[in-house]
Chain A
Amino acid sequence: DIQMTQSPSSLSASVGDRVTITCRASQSISTYLNWYQQKPGRAPKVLIYAASSLQSGVPSRFSGSGSGTDFTLTISSLQLEDFAIYYCQQSYITPITFGQGTRLEIK
């Protein structure tokens, strides 16, 4: 199975900050990497697919990059509604696997 490791596991930041979350795969997955946001009691929502493609309707302050084993999700200027848990996920091979999540909290 491909292991997905996110860092950090939690992060405190302020409104307006630029934030970067990283995701590392245990083997190369090309750009078969997606990012999700989940708020408490809600279903996850896709933000970025194929490593860098912005899902329709997602604000442009979200961006993704990377290929192979190392990927990043960047939020250019944090808004109040961005405080949530973020997950990366690989779709290169089954079993599909997720990172453990990064909790983004208000400082």
Chain B
Amino acid sequence: EVQLVESGGGLVQPGGSLRLSCAASGFTFRNYWMSWVRQAPGKGLQWVANIKQDGSVKKSVDAVKGRFTISRDNAKNSLYLQMNSLRVEDTAVYFCASLGHWGLSGISYFESWGQGTLVTVSS
């Protein structure tokens, strides 16, 4: 059974830092692109960042560029999100997700999701 378990969320003051982790099991982690997606309270979904299987390619939404860094450790089957210079508007549940791909088309989708970890940025 595929499992993604996030941890590391909590309350932090504006300008502070937090590191989220996602422990993966039940699938061959090193073969998958991985992502972070967030959801502000009562709001919709927002993609945050992607990372390629070997960590060589990283992409992120403009709102977090220069502040958030996605990384992975394939030996530990783990995905990370280092969040610096946090802002009130970063308050959200952060989900990690694996990216499935359909054939050779390049069409990707968020295949499996963790339960999420809540990050609250407030003074």
Q: How far is the CB of B51 from chain A (nearest CB, A)?
A: 12
Docked-complex contact A43 and B113, CB < 8 angstroms: yes
Per-position 1/0 for A65-104, Cβ under 8 A of B: 0000000000000000000000101010011111111000
In the assembled complex, which residues on chain B have CB atoms less than 8 Å from the CB atom of A63?
Answer: none
Docked-complex contact A36 and B47, CB < 8 angstroms: no
Most B CB contacts (10 A, CB to CB) among A36, A55, A96, A101 go to A96
In the assembled complex, which residues on chain A have CB atoms less than 8 Å from the CB atom of B62?
Answer: 95
Which residue from chain B places its CB closest to the CB of A30 in the assembled complex?
Answer: B107
Main secondary structure of the interface of B (DSSP, over half): strand
Docked-complex contact B47 and A95, CB < 8 angstroms: yes
Count, chain A residues at interface, CB 8 A: 25
Size band of the B side of the interface? 20 to 34
In the assembled complex, which residues on chain B have CB atoms less than 8 Å from the CB atom of A87?
Answer: 44-45
In the assembled complex, which residues on chain B have CB atoms less than 8 Å from the CB atom of A99?
Answer: 44
Docked-complex contact A32 and B107, CB < 8 angstroms: yes
In the assembled complex, which residues on chain A have CB atoms less than 8 Å from the CB atom of B113?
Answer: 43-45
Docked-complex contact B47 and A97, CB < 8 angstroms: yes
Main secondary structure of the interface of A (DSSP, over half): loop
Docked-complex contact B44 and A101, CB < 8 angstroms: yes
Docked-complex contact A43 and B115, CB < 8 angstroms: yes
Docked-complex contact A98 and B45, CB < 8 angstroms: yes
Given known contacts A50-B105, A94-B50, is B114 in contact with A43 (CB within 8 Å)?
Answer: yes
Q: Write the residues of chain B forming the contact surface with A, with a CB cutoff of 8 angstroms.
A: 35, 44-47, 50, 59, 61-62, 95, 100, 102, 105, 107-111, 113-116
